[in-house]
Chains A and B, each alone.
Chain A
């Protein structure tokens, strides 16, 4: 039974394709860093899902969650600055599916679980933000920009969900967004494992 229970974790840890992201020509490494989470769909969807989830839970009462996310993403960026870290797209996608479904389910999430999700997502996004094409000062600038981009892309959907907690149709709108995010991530997660499942 323990072996069966370990299977999802084993699959999640399975190495997949490493995806680097080429920068926009003519823009500084800092600006490319800010745009990085916006231009990587796996990052964007995870940030949208997490932002909506935190926003649904009265962010004013959960400021430590946002702070934890920020610190974890900075830690991830610092680690990836000094070491090559390969984070698997499947882990980001699986996290997006689960967090999106929590938005759809509209159930209150325990503050500790919210904190844990913020820590894990912040760390993963930081670790996966190495642009690979920069070195030295340009790399530092790109990662600094990525940190700002990641933070902004969490804050905006969080503010949106927070402002849409008052009326029933607004709460439904947030849940619809959650279902779109989960559906998109689920499809690509399947695509990641399709070769293994087909063979």
Chain B
């Protein structure tokens, strides 16, 4: 009997963790994806910050141009996980608005910090963005397609920023990119003080 005690413990724990069986319709998959995809696109604060990440990545050149779009979704998922679990992060909206101000400012000022500083800064802001998306996740029709939708939309916004940022190859394009960064920083400041 003593030999069976660990097994008994395992089965007891598994039984306590069991949930309900539930069927779900496949139409929730497409709905969940669309809802998730539109979530970052319908929030100007998310849109401009994500574009700024791409712009800055392109501005910094290789390897930042690929490192930032690879790192951001993973760190954002970590922030989202905090939101799902219910761990509060103070001033999430302020953090998101600050991300637009700071990242846009970096592009406008043509700042070139070491790569680890850029990755750390972008990663820190990714947690705020992920947390905002993550708190919406438990209510989604289909959680997995919702999260895939918002991760893909976020990634496409990065790529949009990277594509525009590639204009830095020419002197005029460089001015255009810095001007876009300035506009994003101004919009971020507007979001912070409640004007936008």
Residues of chain A touching chain B, judged by Cβ–Cβ distance below 8 Å, are 10, 13-24, 39-42, 45, 93, 104, 132, 169, 172, 175-176, 179-180, 182-188, 190-191, 194-198
Contact = CB atoms under 8 A, between A and B. Distances in A.
A138 B175 CA distance: 64
A14 B81 contact: no
B142 interface: yes
Contacts of A10: 10, 13-14
A188 to B, nearest CB: 4
B39 to A, nearest CB: 13
Interface string B134-163: 100110001111011001100100000000
Contacts of A186: 74, 77-78, 80-81
Contacts of A104: 70, 74
B93 to A, nearest CB: 20
A175 B70 contact: yes
A176 B144 contact: no
8 contacts: A14-B13, A17-B19, A19-B24, A22-B23, A180-B148, A186-B80, A187-B81, A194-B84
Given A15-B18, A39-B29, A180-B73, A187 B13 contact: no
Given A190-B84, A191-B137, A18 B74 contact: no
Given A17-B20, A21-B26, A184-B144, 18 more contacts: A19-B22, A22-B26, A23-B26, A39-B29, A40-B26, A42-B144, A172-B66, A179-B71, A180-B148, A182-B74, A184-B148, A185-B144, A188-B144, A191-B137, A191-B143, A194-B85, A194-B138, A196-B17
Interface in B16-51: 17-26, 29, 32-33
Interface of B is mostly: helix
Contacts of A19: 22-24
B50 to A, nearest CB: 13
A18 B86 contact: no
Given A18-B22, A190-B85, A45 B148 contact: yes
A190 B57 CA distance: 29
Contacts of B33: 41
Interface residues of B, number: 43
Given A15-B14, A191-B138, A198 B74 contact: no
Nearest to A133: B23
Contacts of B70: 104, 172, 175-176, 179
A101 B134 CA distance: 20
B14 A14 contact: yes
A145 to B, nearest CB: 14
Nearest to B79: A187
A186 B78 CA distance: 8
A187 B134 contact: yes
Nearest to A21: B26
Contact of A15 (B19, B25, B66): B19
A15 B17 contact: yes
Given A15-B18, A188-B147, A24 B10 contact: no
Shortest 3 CB-CB distances between A and B: which pairs? A183-B77, A41-B144, A190-B81
Given A15-B18, A187-B137, A180 B26 contact: no
A10 B144 CA distance: 23
Contacts of A42: 144
B74 A39 contact: no
Contact of B73 (A14, A169, A183): A183
A24 B29 CA distance: 13
Contacts of A183: 73-74, 76-77, 80, 147, 151
B70 to A, nearest CB: 5
A1 to B, nearest CB: 15
